[in-house]
C-alpha cells in the first residue's frame, strides 16, 4: 500500500510508467527497504536491480525472486509489485527467524516489464535472456522520442554490471494470476508449469471503395464484411480449442472510414495463444484456410503476415517441484496452471531454471486500477515462496 502511494492513479491504482520520476521514486523506496533488511544492492546496465542477502557459501549462484515495479497507465497495486515485495518479505522473514541458507538469496526488479512506455514489453528480462540485443533495447523510444538509455541515466539506474552477467542459480516469480481460474476453482495457489505460446498476425483485406447508395448489393467487394466474418470465425475457432486456446482481434482500421462509402480496405491484428505448440499451429493453419475461403467468397484480397511466434514455455521441473512440495507441506488449496500472460520469468526461463507462483485476484481483473487481492491469499503465496526458496537454497 505504501508503494501504491507513489504515482497514485485517480481511481485507487498506480501509474508508474517505466523510468519516469514515479518509477525512480518507487525504486528508491524499494532499495531503501532492502538496505534496511541488510541487503547489498547491485545494478546492471538495463537498470535491473539485485538486492543480495549472503548465504553460507558465496561461491553458489543466488536463488532469486522478484518481478517488476513499473505499471500500466491505469495499473493496479499488485501486478508486478506483489512479486517484488513478496521476495523482500521472504528476506525479512529469514532475518526474523535467523534462517541461514547455503546459496545467497536475492530480490530482483526487472526494468520495463509492461512495455507501456517503451515497447516491447519484458525488454530488460529479454536482454538478460539474450532474446533482445542490448543496443536495440537502449534505443527504444517513448511517444516523445526519449530513449530508454537516456531515461535510465537520468533517473540514475544505469548500472555498471553488463545485463546478463549477473549469475542466477534459480528464479521464482510470484504474481497475481490476472485471470479468473484460481478464484473460480476456489484455489489459493497456482503452481505455474509454463506459459502459453503466442502467434501474432497483421491482416489486410482489400476490396473496393464504392458508393454506399448506388452500388447494388450483389457484386460488392466489401472488405469490412469479409473481415467481420473472419473475426467471428476466429472467435469460434478459439472456442473449438477451449479452454486453452484463445484468439483476439484487438485492433482494426477501416479505410476510407466514411459513412457512405463501402469499405475498400481493412487492417486488423490477431493475437492467438495456446499452451501446446502443435495445437497453436493447427489454430493458425485453420485461421489461414478459413480466411482464404471467406475472402474468396467476397472477392476481396487477403494478406496475412505473421509478425511474432513465441513458442510455449515449460518451466523447470525442479523449480516446479520446489513450489509444489512447499504448497503441499503448507496445505493450501492449489492447482497446476499455465500462465495466460507474459512475465519476466517467461523470458529468463530460457537461460535460468525458473518457475512461478500465482495467487488469485478479484474477478481475475488486472491492468485496471480496481485490481485487488486478498491479504490471506497474498500471505499464502509469500509463504509458499519462502518455503520453495529455502528448498532451492539449502
Ligand atoms: Zn506483471
Give 243's pLDDT tier (boundaries 50, 70, 90).
confident
Average pLDDT over residues 359-372: 95
Q: Dmax of the chain from CA atoms?
A: 83
Examine the pLDDT at 154 and tell me if it is beyond 90. yes
Asked if residue 176 lies in contact with residue 371, where contact means CB atoms within 8 angstroms, the answer is yes
pTM of the model: 0.88
- Residue-averaged pLDDT of the chain: 97
Q: Which residue has the cell 467471428?
A: 232
Distance (angstroms) between ligand 1 centre and the Cα of 204 equals: 31
- The pLDDT tens digits of the residues spanning 82-124 come to 999 999 999 999 999 999 999 999 999 999 999 989 988 999 9
Instruction: Look at residue 310 in the predicted model and tell me its pLDDT.
Output: 85
Query: From ligand 1's centre to the CA of 124, what distance in Å?
Result: 13
Q: How far is the CA of 341 from the centre of ligand 1 (A)?
A: 8
* Omega of the bond leading into 120 within 30 degrees of 0 (cis): yes
Read off the pLDDT of residues 14-51 as tens digits, 9 standing for 90 and up.
Answer: 999 999 999 999 999 999 999 999 999 999 999 999 99
Calculate how far, in angstroms, residue 40's C-alpha sits from the geometric centre of ligand 1.
Answer: 25
Overall average pLDDT of the 161-184 stretch: 97
DSSP 44: B
pLDDT tens track for 5-16:
999 999 999 999
pLDDT at residue 392 greater than cutoff 90: yes
Cα–ligand 1 centroid distance for 210 (angstroms): 46
pLDDT bracket for residue 152 (50, 70, 90): very high
Distance in Å, CA 96 to ligand 1 centroid: 28
Residue 301 backbone dihedrals phi, psi, to 5 degrees: -90, 150
Q: What is the mean pLDDT of residues 161-187?
A: 97
Measured in Å, residue 68 CA sits from the centre of ligand 1 at: 6
C-alpha cell at 27: 525504486
Buried b (16+ CB within 10 A) or exposed e, 36-75: ebebeeebbbbbbbbbbbebeeeeeebbbbbbbbbbbebb
Distance 261 CA to ligand 1 centre (A): 43
Distance 290 CA to ligand 1 centre (A): 35
Nearest to residue 85, comparing CAs of 175, 179, 187? Answer: 175
How remote is the CA of residue 191 from the centroid of ligand 1, in Å? 16
Q: How far is the CA of 202 from the centre of ligand 1 (A)?
A: 25
Structure confidence at residue 308 (pLDDT): 84
What are the residues whose beta carbons fall under 8 Å from the beta carbon of 146, sequence distance 6 or more? none
Q: 15 C-alpha to center of ligand 1: Å?
A: 13
Q: Any bridge partners for residue 309, and if so which? A: 199
At residue 307, the pLDDT reads 86
Q: What digits encode the pLDDT tens for the residues 255-312? A: 999 999 999 999 999 999 999 999 999 999 999 999 999 999 999 999 999 988 888 9
Amino acid at each position: 500500500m505504501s508503494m501504491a502511494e507513489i504515482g497514485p492513479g485517480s481511481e485507487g491504482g498506480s501509474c508508474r510508467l517505466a523510468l519516469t520520476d514515479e518509477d525512480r521514486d518507487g525504486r528508491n523506496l524499494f532499495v531503501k527497504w532492502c538496505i534496511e533488511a541488510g541487503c547489498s544492492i547491485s545494478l546492471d546496465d538495463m537498470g535491473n536491480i539485485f538486492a543480495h542477502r549472503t548465504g553460507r557459501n558465496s561461491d553458489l549462484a543466488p536463488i532469486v525472486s522478484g518481478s517488476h515495479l513499473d505499471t500500466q497507465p491505469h495499473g493496479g497495486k499488485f501486478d508486478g509489485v506483489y512479486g517484488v515485495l513478496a521476495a523482500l518479505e521472504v528476506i525479512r522473514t529469514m532475518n526474523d527467524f535467523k534462517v541461514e541458507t547455503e546459496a545467497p538469496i536475492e530480490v530482483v526488479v526487472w526494468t520495463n516489464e509492461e512495455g507501456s512506455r517503451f515497447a516491447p514489453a519484458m525488454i530488460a528480462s529479454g536482454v538478460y535472456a539474450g532474446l533482445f540485443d542490448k543496443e536495440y533495447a537502449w534505443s527504444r523510444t517513448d511517444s516523445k522520442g526519449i530513449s530508454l538509455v537516456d531515461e535510465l541515466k537520468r533517473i540514475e539506474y544505469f548500472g555498471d554490471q553488463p545485463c546478463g552477467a549477473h549469475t542466477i542459480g534459480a528464479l521464482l516469480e510470484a504474481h497475481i494470476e490476472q485471470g479468473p481460474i484460481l478464484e473460480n476453482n476456489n484455489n489459493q495457489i497456482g503452481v505455474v508449469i509454463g506459459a502459453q505460446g503466442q502467434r501474432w498476425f497483421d491482416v489486410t483485406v482489400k476490396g473496393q471503395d464504392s458508393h454506399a447508395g448506388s452500388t447494388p448489393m450483389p457484386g460488392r467487394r466489401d472488405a469490412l464484411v469479409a473481415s467481420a466474418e473472419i473475426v467471428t470465425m476466429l472467435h469460434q475457432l478459439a472456442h473449438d480449442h477451449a479452454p486453452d486456446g484463445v484468439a483476439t482481434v484487438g485492433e482494426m482500421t477501416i479505410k476510407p472510414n466514411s459513412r457512405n462509402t463501402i469499405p475498400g480496405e481493412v487492417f486488423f491484428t490477431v493475437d492467438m495463444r495456446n499452451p501446446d505448440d502443435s495445437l497453436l499451429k493447427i489454430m493458425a493453419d485453420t485461421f489461414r484456410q478459413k480466411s482464404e475461403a471467406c475472402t474468396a467468397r467476397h472477392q476481396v484480397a487477403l494478406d496475412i503476415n505473421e509478425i511474432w511466434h513465441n513458442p510455449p514455455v515449460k518451466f523447470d521441473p525442479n523449480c516446479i517441484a520446489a513450489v509444489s512440495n512447499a504448497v503441499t507441506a503448507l496445505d493450501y488449496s492449489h492447482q497446476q496452471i499455465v500462465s495466460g500472460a507474459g512475465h519476466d520469468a517467461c523470458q529468463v526461463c530460457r537461460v535460468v531454471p525458473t518457475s512461478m507462483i500465482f495467487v488469485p485476484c478479484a474477478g481475475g481483473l488486472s491492468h485496471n486500477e480496481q485490481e485487488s487481492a486478498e491479504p490471506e491469499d497474498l500471505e499464502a503465496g509469500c509463504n509458499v515462496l519462502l518455503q520453495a526458496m529455502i528448498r532451492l537454497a539449502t
